[in-house]
Structure 1
Amino acid sequence: MHNHNLLTQILKGIQSHPDRNAFFIDGKYHTYKSLAKRISEIYNIIKQHTGPTAQCIGIIEKNNIETYASLLAVLFSGNTYVILNPQNPNCRNRIIVESTDIQLILHSDEDNCSLDIPKYVNLISTIDVKSESILDKIMTQVDSDSLAYIIFTSGSTGVPKGVPISHGNLNAFYDAYSSLNFNLNKEDRLLQMFDLCFDVSVVSTLYPLTLGACIFTVSQNSVKYTQVYELLEDEELTFAAIAPSLLSYLQPYFEEINLPKLKYLILTAEASNWDLLSQFITCAPNAELVNLYGPTEATIYCTSYRVNPNDIDTYNGMLAIGKAFKSMHAIIVDENLQEVPKGEKGEMCVAGAQLMEGYWKDPKKSKEVFVELDCFEVPTRYYRTGDICFIDEKDCIHYCGRKDYQVQIQGFRVELNEIEHTVRQYHSIGSNVVLAKPNQLGNQELHLFIEKYEGEETSIIDFLKEKLPIYMCPQNIYGINELPLNSSGKVDRKKLLELV
């Protein structure tokens, strides 16, 4: 019987493959044996500076083996890791440190000591620590209610929201993710391209270690999409989880890209445009495409859609997000929180073992997003995702956009994704984004940002007028060489709004 305790499986993977490579970071391989040594050394530091009660421990992010070993050491110690990105504003990092009552921060770069961190915090370098290897003495049976990590996402008030994920949540996710039955083993080579403040980095880092496989990371000091391309091709990676926006950056090179060794391409973090993916398929002729969806609050992913190129399920050109994971349940509800019939749009709510308990020290916000619904003849706790979806006749869930991306224009409810889909019919090179912003009179105006377009604005508008009602046609069009991406690989909509 498969053991679904994630830490136990990671420890087994580390101990069973000492001479195999665990990480490839900035051109250098690190074996499982060397990883075990680093984990042991940092684990000892943690034990020397913490008591019997679990606490939050900060880790200053850097693309090196010490950072990844620190993350693992914190998990094995039964404490909670909180990633601090030195590229984020000092005030944001300070808010995170103070709200989680961090007393100990691990770092691996002396330059990061200049971060605005309270003086009472113990800041310890993990670069030169030496101690005996004690990995065989590490306990992996951590209480399921204890927190594995807290990830901070943007909050509407400007204060980041803490999303605490327990070991129970993580084990439920690992069980469900393993049930996807990817054909992977110790010989595989997997990509980790995400900022450690973003939750997809968790599965990109931890899951390969359970296999004894090798993880290939992306440097913070390079152009991300070019390094991903180089790693995929030069290192013959077999598994890659990427944001679709990154693929759009690679689109000009599709004719040159050849990835015959790629077995799985995971689409994640945002809606997946099938037109773009259908062009990419020839670059990776042996790869299965899998679209994985999930809010951070439901532990990384909670639905999956495996792509059959001969039978594609799309809505407005975007791939379906499929069906709920084995430990999760998804329903679509109306504004009165009543379940809607198949084919009808509404807000998706999810329930199950992967769901967080509530936002960190924010009961008010937690109360806003959690509801009890009588879907199984007993009250069941659901998380309101804020995503507009519908379920088709094949019980396949389709993502239609964020509630936030629905705007009222002249009294009409408009889905911005529908406009973007129509623009792609006219100009399929690159991506486009439609944003709404109130004008001086308080009326919503639509702004279209379109990549690699050098034609006349009037040509696009004339085309859109033939396809859409006049109120759905953008008032302003901006040609842009490349849409800006945030650290998670998603289109940075806030930065685009600043250009308006």
Structure 2
Amino acid sequence: MEFVNRLQKSIEQHANLNVLCINGTFYTYKDFAQEISNIRAAVTNKIDDSEKLIGLVTNDDLQTYASILALWLEGKAYVPVNPEVPFERNSKVFEQTETKYVIDSSENSIYIDYQVIASNQLSEAKINLVPRKIKGDDLAYILFTSGTTGLPKGVPITFDNVQALVGAIDAEPTFNLVPEDRCLQMFELTFDFSVVAYLFPLLAGSCMYTIPKGTIKYFYIFKLIKEEKLTVLTMVPSIINYLRPYFGEINAPDVRYCSFGGGALHSDIAKEWSDCLPNCKIFNYYGPTEFTVYSGFYPYHKETATKAHNGIIAIGIPQKDTSYLVVNNNNEEVPIGETGELCLGGPQITPGYWKNEERNAKSFFVREENGKSIRYYKTGDLCLKDEDGDFLYVGRADFQVKIRGYRVELAEIEFHAKSKSEKKVNMVALDITNDLGNAELGLAIESEEFDTEIIFDHMKSMMPSYMIPMHVRFVKEFPHSINGKIDRKELKKHFDLT
């Protein structure tokens, strides 16, 4: 497998360079190689070849990152679980994957019902970074996302999927990491964006800077940008909302690349953030877990490339070997300029949800194109393709709600609410169920209370009455998922209409 061979060469070639900075402590690629080899020796001694899915407790330490590489060199997949998540949920993940072995660098592992490899207590082994022969359809990892039934759903990703991602990013001439780069790694390892945040720096011999658990994430990022002069930032858009009060203090000429994903990037804050990074190329990436992180991007520039819909920056065009298709409810392609559900096809597509045929039947379909059968994943995102061939994000299909029989895009309400607000704060439109069981609109504002008369006067001049929120709640701090996305389900609890 080409990318695994490249990882081996990179680790060997950059032995004297730093690979990770964790809570102020630097580790070299040589240190990394030693930890990988220690863990790999334990894996080969204790785990049978037939066991392919290995649990991994995602601590913020050298051993956890080394475990991923050790498993890949052995042709095995990691099944990550966050130690801050309830044990019962993590146990369900291991139950579904029939995981018997868990690699855990915790001081005392709580996974006593599993065969634990304590990765922080291993004896030193001979350096061995030579990969075994790996089949492309072998799994590289399985990530679990929240399921509507309360049972997390697994997304398996193969080595071929990861190879296709690497090939697509390599094909982009505007993005090229070098060993001197200092890269932000802000993501929990159970979140798919972590894969690009660690994989591409490792392939280039760059150094990653992680965010210690228990810190205020946005403040620590601010500190790293300022003190460590980071050059590559991979972020979720919500982070810069929290950094916004500090924009006046941020002048980061060292930043070369800033990639966004995992949420909508709004045009107003994108421009302000761009002013903080005078020498930076900004990419608005798009892609779900089911399509191996990235599927395409829009190269944003505050003066020459600001295409947006309802104030949300475009998601651009598909990357190499990826097909975008916008369809109606019958999976038929819609005309240019018409909104539909975005579907993705290509070599990065997951084999399907883990042991969930019912969900697979709803989420994937096959379409004949030019004599070939192409399998597509239905993203649940509403998009449209414009005359230039760029794709514009409209909103989530599940954020398209019915109010009094009318279809309403919550993103459109948010756009008009923000456009006349003197305060630059987060605003989220929500559908709320009243005591009669009918849907009404609410607007949550992340701020202390202020007069919203100007905002509502503007909304009334731009939208029909059924799109005007009937309820407003000021929330000091929006709830977020562990991956940095606004938790709308939790936010709805601030609206009690019963």
The within-5 A match list for 1:229-244 is 229-244=222-237
Q: Distance in 2 between matches of 1:377 and 1:344?
A: 26
Deviation of the 1:118 alpha carbon? 6.6
2:42 corresponds in structure 1 to 45
Q: CA deviation at 1:135?
A: 1.9
CA distance in 2, matches of 1:140, 1:408: 54
The whole-number CA distance in structure 2 between the counterparts of 1:284 and 1:378 is 44
CA offsets 1:120-161 (integer angstroms, 9 cap, x no match): x1022111211322324x225411000000000011111100
- Structure 1 unaligned residues grouped into runs of 5+: none
In structure 2, do the counterparts of structure 1 residues 52 and 30 end up closer, same or farther at CA, with 3 Å as the change threshold?
same
Partner amino acid, structure 1, of 2:84:
Q
CA distance in 1, matches of 2:448, 2:409: 23
What does residue 474 of structure 1 align with?
469
Q: Contact 1:249–1:430 at 8 Å: present in 2 too? A: no
The answer to whether the Cα contact below 8 Å between 1:5 and 1:171 also exists between their aligned partners in 2 is: yes
Give per-residue Cα distances to partners, 1:271-313, cap 9 Å, x unaligned.
Answer: 1001011111111111111000001000001011111322321
Q: The residue matched to 2:37 in structure 1 has which SS?
A: helix
Counterpart secondary structure, 2:163: helix
* 1:67 Cα deviation after fit: 0.8
Distance 1:396 1:208 in 2: 29
Partner residue in 2 for 1:326 = 320
Q: Which moved more, 1:471-480 or 1:460-469?
A: 460-469
| Other structure's SS at 2:369 match | coil
Asked if residue 440 in structure 1 is aligned to residue 435 in structure 2, the reply is: yes
Identity %: 37
Q: Give deviations 1:285-344, integer Å, cap 9, x for gaps.
A: 111110000010000010111113223210001110011111210110111111111111
* Most deviating of 270-279 and 428-437: 428-437
Mapped pair 1:29 → 2:26: yes
Q: Structure 1 pair 20/151, CA: closer, same or farther in 2 (3 Å)?
A: same
Query: Take 2:193 and 2:183, find their aligned partners in 1: how far apart are those partners?
Result: 13
Does the CA contact (< 8 Å) of 2:401 and 2:407 recur in 1? yes
Letter in 2 for 1:438: T
Letter in 1 for 2:364: F
The corresponding residue for 1:415 is: 409
Q: Secondary structure at the match of 1:321?
A: coil
- Correspondence for 1:166 among 147, 158, 169: 158
Distance in structure 2 (CA, Å) of the matches to 1:69 and 1:378: 40
| Distance in 2 between residues matched to 1:76 and 1:296, nearest whole Å | 23
Letter in 1 for 2:287: G
**Which of 180, 185, 209 is residue 172 of structure 2 equivalent to?**
180
User: Which of 430, 451, 455 is the equivalent residue of 2:450?
Assistant: 455
State whether residues 416 and 458 of structure 2, in contact with CA within 8 Å, keep that contact through their aligned partners in structure 1: no
Structure 1: how far apart are the matches of 2:370 and 2:226?
Answer: 48
SS in 1 for 2:342: strand
The answer to whether the 8 Å contact 1:23/1:29 transfers is yes
Q: TM-score, normalised by structure 2?
A: 0.96
Task: State how far apart, in whole Å, the 2-side matches of 1:406 and 1:28 are.
Answer: 46
Alignment TM-score, normalising by the size of structure 1: 0.96
Q: Distance in 2 between matches of 1:141 and 1:301?
A: 26
- Aligned match of 2:424: 429
Confirm or deny: 8 A CA contact 1:61 1:84 kept in the other structure: yes
Shift of 1:459: 4.3
Residue 372 of structure 2 aligns with which residue? 378
**1:365 Cα offset (Å):** 0.7
In 2, distance between residues paired with 1:245 and 1:102?
34
> Structure 2, unaligned stretches of length 5 or more?
none
* Further displaced range: 167-176 or 70-79: 70-79
d(CA) in 2 for partners of 1:87 and 1:232? 26
Q: 1:149 and 1:484 mapped to 2: Cα distance?
A: 28
Instruction: Give the secondary-structure state (helix, strand or coil) at the position aligned to 1:197.
Output: coil
Q: Deviations over 1:402-453 (max 9, x none)?
A: 1000000011100000000011112251211111122121211111111235
Once the two structures are superposed, the pairs formed by residues 53-452 of structure 1 within 5 Å of their partners are 53-111=50-108, 113-114=109-110, 117=111, 119=113, 121-136=114-129, 138-139=130-131, 141-181=133-173, 182-309=175-302, 310-427=304-421, 428-452=423-447
Please give the root-mean-square deviation of Cα atoms over the aligned residues, in Å: 1.4
Tell me how far apart the structure 2 counterparts of residues 353 and 391 of structure 1 sit (CA, whole Å). 22
Matches of 2:383 and 2:18 in 1, distance apart?
42
* Farther off after superposition, 226-235 or 50-59: 50-59
Question: Which deviates more from structure 2 when the two are superposed, residues 96-105 or residues 447-456?
Answer: 447-456
